[in-house]
Amino acid sequence: MTMSVRGWLWRRRLAATGALGHLAAARAALALAPDEVARLQRSRLADLLLHAHAHVPYYRRALEDSGVVVADAGGAREVRLERFPELPPLGKADLRERFDDLTSDDAASRGAYATSTGGSTGEPVRFLHDREMHAWKLANKALFDSWTGYRPGDGFALLWGAVGDLAHASPRARLGAWLRNELALEAYELSPAKMDAYVARLNAFRPRLLLAYAQSAFELARHAESRGLEVLPIPAVMTSATNLEPEMRSTIERVFGAEVYDRYGSREVADVACENGDGLGLVIDPLTHVVEAVDAAGRPVPDGEHGELLVTTLTNRSMPLIRYRIGDAGVLGPPAGGVPWPRLTAVSGRVTDVFHTVDGRQVYGGYFTRQFYGRDWVAQFQVVQEDYDRLRVRVVPRPGTDPELIAAEQRALATAFRSALGEGCAVEFEVVDDIPVGPTGKRRYTLSHVEPAA
């Protein structure tokens, strides 16, 4: 069979789920004016809140207590969206402890199914998705992939760490992988020998699009460049799952000869936003999500300012996640570049990547990551804030690195870290053989165990 036949069959499969209809709706919304998009999003949010009030015990109480949904003497309900920011955010602990109360009473009729996070942050949680959300997930993936120039049936490679996502044990899963013309590469433990093999397999497969953990694509690119391996161009690389730093993007672009498109989402809320190639940030799909950036008190911050991200899923009525604390920090922006959808102009990393000083300042993890740019002797690193005035820095040096160079570089790094956190900060280095990845293959570059100062 030809590639075009694979693509045709894949589209038929998408049509059967309802995803193609949703994809058409999303593309139609890209032709609207920004104010029309905003009205459409508000309407979809109001409908979700009315459903949550009527069918989800947890939200019936929360929406009434916050004044977001009010009822008159006759029982008619009204949504007051201006009070939406008063609704308390939903956390992972709520999902664990209030699972039944968060489940809609009509979930079974919606084809609800249980799934869970991979627990890469040490907080695995279980939640429900359903048929409608699944169809919208497929639609958003198809839309975001199309922005890279990919079309169904083109070669598609995956460098991913979640074993469950790569396990093609069932006939249905194997059929899907075949229809997608997919090469799946596991991102666990990228040893030199494994990375040599991956470069060879990618060269032989010649994918149109590579979807990868950002850090895994970066490590593979650095390895190929340092070893002088031949790397045949890949037109587009889509990064996700971990934060994409500027040096990571430029290295991936240089080594793979690729245009890089960053994508944002999570297992709980699916794909939220993706770059479209115009360089103006990630584009948020307003038909499927509402994204807010808030300060430490939960108050919305203006566009252009860093804040904790809260995500509301507009397509999952079996277990709506409303103002969900996804665990990331970022910056929002208005529609730009002729695209009428809102923007996520920066993802600063996990909230636990934000380092805190005793005088109340915040330092985002990217500051520490950037200190390692150009230090080719470093194979892996991890910076952990253990107290306001104590950092632990784990470093895996490349084989053969001069110990005197390591000592000098440690002094330079310590100076840079103290300039951000205070001259009294103790910086402790550990030279190790390896830094373990988490349960889903992600390695945390930065991690803070410190809460904001009172």
pLDDT, tens only, 128-177: 999 999 999 999 999 999 999 999 889 999 998 754 555 555 677 777 77
Which residue range forms the structural domain that includes residue 422?
355-448
What pLDDT sits at residue 5?
80
In a domain, 160, yes or no: yes
244-278: burial string, b at 16+ Cβ within 10 Å, e else: bbeebbebbeebbebbbbbbbbbbbbbbbbbbbee
Residue 397 has pLDDT above 50, yes or no: yes
Domain count within the chain: 2
What pTM was estimated for this model as a whole? 0.82
What pLDDT sits at residue 215?
81
What pLDDT sits at residue 351?
61
Residue 350 has pLDDT above 90, yes or no: no
Question: Residues with Cβ < 8 Å from 91, sequence gap 6 or more?
Answer: 324, 325
CA distance 233 to 26: 31
- Could you tell me which residue, 348 or 268, shows the higher pLDDT? 268
- Element spanning 54, H or E: helix 34-55
- The answer to whether the beta carbons of residues 268 and 115 sit under 8 Å apart is no
Clarify whether residues 217 and 128 are in a common domain.
Answer: yes
Domain boundary among 298, 325, 350: 350
What pLDDT sits at residue 165?
53
Share of the chain above pLDDT 70, in %: 93
CA distance 282 to 275: 4
Residue type, 321: L
Query: Strand (E) positions, 106-228?
Result: 113-116, 126-129, 156-160, 182-186, 209-213
- The answer to whether the beta carbons of residues 203 and 195 sit under 8 Å apart is no
Clarify whether residues 35 and 73 are in a common domain.
Answer: yes
- Could you tell me which residue, 235 or 176, shows the higher pLDDT? 235
Which residue from 91, 88, 89, 54 is spatially nearest to 69, judged by alpha carbons? 54
- Element spanning 444, H or E: none
Confidence of residue 440 (pLDDT cuts 50, 70, 90): low
Clarify whether residues 86 and 223 are in a common domain.
Answer: yes
What pLDDT sits at residue 168?
53
Clarify whether residues 328 and 395 are in a common domain.
Answer: no
- Could you tell me which residue, 445 or 63, shows the higher pLDDT? 63
Clarify whether residues 2 and 45 are in a common domain.
Answer: yes
Q: What is the pLDDT of residues 94-131, one digit of tens each?
A: 998 999 999 999 999 999 999 887 554 445 688 999 99
Clarify whether residues 230 and 374 are in a common domain.
Answer: no
Domain boundary among 350, 375, 405: 350
What pLDDT sits at residue 163?
45
- Element spanning 394, H or E: strand 390-397
What CATH number is given to the structural domain containing 246?
Answer: 3.40.50.12780
In a domain, 453, yes or no: no
Confidence of residue 438 (pLDDT cuts 50, 70, 90): low
Average pLDDT over residues 320-336: 94
Angle at 434 between CA 431 and CA 435, to 5 degrees: 95
In a domain, 422, yes or no: yes
